Amino acid sequence: MFKALVIEKDDAGYRAGVKDVDDSVLPPGEVTVRVEYSTVNYKDGLAITGKGPVVRKFPLHAGIDFAGVVEASDDARFKPGERVLLNGWGVGESHSGGLAQKACVKADWLVPLPAGLTTKQAMAIGTAGYTAMLSVMALERHGVRPESGDILVTGASGGVGSVAIAVLAKLGYRVVASTGRPQEAAYLRGLGAADIIARDELSAPGKPLAKERWAGVVDSVGSHTLANACAGTRYGGAVAACGLAQGMDFPASVAPFILRGITLYGIDSVNAPQAVRRSAWQRLARDLDLAKLEAITHEITLAGALQAAVDILAGRIRGRVVVNVNA
């Protein structure tokens, strides 16, 4: 038996709660992992509360991330005792996930824990931080360098934004942080933000083209914020779109693309190839200041994930949440 945050949907409705479950309910997979830590991402919030159509199979153990120790393996790539992590692949959506003390998954979905990171630190990063690094890598591939100009990070106080700021600052970029929480100014500057702008500057309908302000953007918000971020991007710049906190719509104009030659990159963390995943995690182990990571993280219990899911959707969570599934 082990504990899991189980999501159920039946004639009684949609609900989530922590339960004791039997090993026999684990889904098929080559590798069984004894989970040590998980986390709560925006998508987890949607899944646990039922506010979005995330979960596609019931009952299901929540959690799109986990890190832990291999307990049993039918795949030669992973041996019992090895520490591993997982992001995405439909885990926590159509395959039982990491907000549980055990998980059974396909070997192809696992990434060896990078040297220099603990399982707790890996989940302090989680899908949010991994997505932030994928976004930074997209800007780098485009040729955006520290000398190119400012980088805008929207949703700056959230998980993606916090890690993006910390990584970009360590790499030498000048970061402009957009947030709806002015009380977090000191926190954002501590991560490395040089300037802070109010969310309201970007969240309302804007002009097709705005003053050229930044060379690149990491956007986790979508909707009008993404449209305005594109409108204010400098000639030849790039925007990495990785979230939808404001909405899935994109009420924009083609003007920034055909008059300024900017590029919009879509960042998918769920199905990214293994080579890309491993590269991103190696970069995180190298390019993220772990002291800053600790400063943006707080730990909760498995039962605490239920309230954290509500809080993350309401924008009340700063930085990252680590779930100690054994507490």
CATH number of the domain at 187, please: 3.40.50.720
Give the CATH number of the domain where residue 52 resides: 3.90.180.10
Residue 37 lies in a domain: yes
Q: CB within 8 A of 270, min separation 6: which ones? A: 87, 88, 89, 90
Are 154 and 78 within one domain? Answer: no
**38-54: pLDDT as tens digits:** 999 999 999 999 998 99
133 and 107 fall within a common domain: no
Q: Are residues 183 and 250 in the same domain?
A: yes
For 6-46, how does the pLDDT look when each residue is reduced to its tens digit (9 = 90+)? 999 999 999 999 999 999 999 999 999 999 999 999 999 99
Measured CA to CA, the distance from residue 40 to residue 224 in angstroms comes to 25
Q: Do 188 and 208 contact (CB within 8 A), yes or no?
A: no
- Assess contact for 233 and 255: CB atoms under 8 A: no
Distance CA 228, CA 34 (A): 44
pLDDT for residue 304: 98
Q: Please tell me whether the overall predicted TM-score, pTM, comes out greater than 0.85 for this model.
A: yes
Residue 193: pLDDT band (50, 70, 90) is very high
Domain check: are 162 and 82 in the same one?
no
Q: Is residue 271 part of a domain?
A: no
| 223-243 pLDDT tens trace | 999 999 999 999 999 999 999
CB count within 10 Å of CB 118 equals 14
pLDDT score recorded for residue 25? 95
Domain assignment of residue 180, yes or no: yes
Coil/strand/helix, residue 273: coil
3-class SS at 8? strand
Take residue 214 and report the two structure tokens written for it. 């930044």
Give 81-91 pLDDT, tens digit per residue.
Answer: 999 999 999 99
Domain contains 91? yes
| Same-domain check for residues 184 and 65 | no
pLDDT (mean) for 170-197: 96
284-to-51, 76, 230, 300 alpha-carbon distances in Å: 31, 26, 26, 23
Task: Determine the structural domain holding residue 252 and report its residue range.
Answer: 127-266
Q: Whose CA is closest to 199, among 234, 153, 150, 168?
A: 153
The reported pLDDT for the residue numbered 31 is 98
Q: What angle do CA 279, 176, 219 make, to 5 degrees?
A: 55
For residue 224, give the H/E element and its range.
Answer: helix 223-231
At 52-80, the pLDDT tens digits run 899 999 999 999 999 999 999 999 999 99
In a domain, 119, yes or no: no
- Give yes or no: residues 146 and 262 share one domain: yes
In a domain, 172, yes or no: yes
Task: Give the pLDDT of residue 319.
Answer: 87
Residue 69: per-residue pLDDT: 98
Same domain, 137 and 260: yes
pLDDT at 129: 95
pLDDT above 90 for 318 = no
In a domain, 150, yes or no: yes
CB 210, CB 229: distance < 8 Å: no
Confidence grade of residue 150 (pLDDT, cut at 50, 70, 90): very high
- Give percent of the chain above pLDDT 70: 100
In this prediction, residue 256 carries a pLDDT of 98
Q: Are residues 175 and 216 in the same domain?
A: yes
The number of domains in the chain is 2
Kindly state whether residues 191 and 300 are assigned to the same domain.
Answer: no
Per the prediction, the chain carries an average pLDDT of 96
Mean pLDDT of all residues in 177-189: 94
Q: Can you give the pLDDT at residue 86?
A: 97
Please check whether residues 258 and 139 belong to one and the same domain.
Answer: yes
pLDDT at 315 over 90: no
- CB contact set of 24 (below 8 Å; sequence gap of 6+): none
Residues 245 and 163 reside in one and the same domain: yes
- Tell me the C-alpha distance between 104 and 115, whole Å: 23
Which of 246, 266, 286 is the last residue in one of the domains?
266
Nearest CA among 52, 98, 87, 55 for reference residue 244: 52
Same domain, 313 and 197: no
Is position 279 within any domain?
no
